[in-house]
Amino acid sequence: MNEKIDINNIPKHIAIILDGNGRWAKKRNRPRIYGHRKGAFNIERICKYADSLGVKVLSIYCFSTENWHRPSDEVNYLMHLPIRYFMRYRNQIKDSNIKIVFSGRRDRISNKLNDLAKDIEDMTKNHQGITLNICFDYGSRDEIIRAIKKLNEAGEDIKNLNEETFSKYLDTANLGDVDLLIRTSGELRLSNFLLWQIAYAEFYFTDILWPDFDELELDKAIISYQNRNRRFGGIKEENK
């Protein structure tokens, strides 16, 4: 097994289910929101590092359509966290090369967050670096249902519908399929994340809690990916 990153085989699209913020805080006898705050700052760190490696798209799961079931004070905190973050770092984001886009429902979040998301998307739309896809009030089943509604409204001919056309109606329309899916904190499930887009993704699960997931951990995930034999249903040359 290779132990070093092969810079010529970097996954184009990495998706991360960033899990374990609550447990990270609990281990320190702190409230769960302390873990969310720490976790939010880690996104920037990992995004910058992924960009430096040549990753093109980083999708991060920040709030699921099911996370509304949490206690209201935690939900409120999670709703305010991106507002605080983007207001504080707007200028830094403007001067960076990171392109930010959002996936998920737009009808249940506050106007303030909606406006800010649009502003950030617009402000970074010509940036040439990594695309950071922030999945917020995102659920894959919800995304698929919304895509069906959108294609119906657009008058698509269902009889001739194919996978390529359908993909264009998903929130991730321009982002392509996921190559590597990472989940932190030891949970072995997908929790409704990018179900369509991960059809041929390689999975990497680690016990590390999200706030502790650093550059070295991303290296490990990528090295693991690079040691996989991706066949896409075919047969590799050497096995023919």
* Contact status, residue 37 vs residue 201, Cβ threshold 8 Å: no
CA nearest neighbour of 130 among 225, 227, 43, 222? 43
Q: Residue 96 has what DSSP assignment?
A: S
Decide whether 190 or 223 has the Cβ nearer to ligand IPE: 190
Distance separating alpha carbons of residues 172 and 104, to the nearest angstrom: 10
- Contact stretch for ligand IPE (CB under 6 A) within 43-51, 58-66, 86-94, 96-104: 58-66
42 carries an active-site annotation: no
Q: Where are the alpha helices (H) located in 54-71, listed in sequence order?
A: none
Q: Exactly one of 65, 114, 167, 191 binds ligand IPE (CB under 6 A); which one?
A: 191
CA atoms within 13 A on the CB side of 25: 13
Chain positions 118 to 147 lying near Mg ion, rule: CB under 5 A, are none
Please report, for residues 97, 137, 175, the alpha-carbon distance to residue 146 in angstroms, rounded to integers and kept in the order given: 30, 13, 17
Q: Return the residues of window 109-148 that contact ligand IPE according to CB under 6 A.
A: none
Note if 67 is an active site residue: yes
Burial of 218 (0-12, 13-18, 19+ CB in 10 A): buried
Among residues 9, 19, 133, 137, the one annotated as catalytic is 19
| Least CB distance to ligand IPE at residue 101 (A) | 17
Residues 14-53 that bind Mg ion (CB under 5 A): 19
Return the residues of window 14-33 that contact ligand IPE according to CB under 6 A. Answer: 17-23
Closer CB to ligand IPE, 18 or 130, in the complex? 18
Residues 35, 24: contact at Cβ < 8 Å? yes
R_g (Cα) of the chain, nearest Å: 18
Please, what is the minimum distance in Å from the beta carbon of residue 220 to Mg ion? Answer: 21
Contacts with Mg ion: how many residues (CB under 5 A)?
1
Name every residue whose Cβ is closer than 8 Å to that of residue 95 and which is 6 or more positions away in sequence.
Answer: none
Stretch near ligand IPE under the rule CB under 6 A, chosen from 112-120, 156-164, 187-195, 232-240: 187-195
CB of 172 to ligand IPE, least distance (A): 16
Among 14, 47, 57, 62, binds ligand IPE (CB under 6 A): 62
> Which residues are annotated as catalytic?
19, 67
Residues in contact with ligand IPE by the rule CB under 6 A: 17-23, 61-64, 67, 78, 185, 187, 189, 191
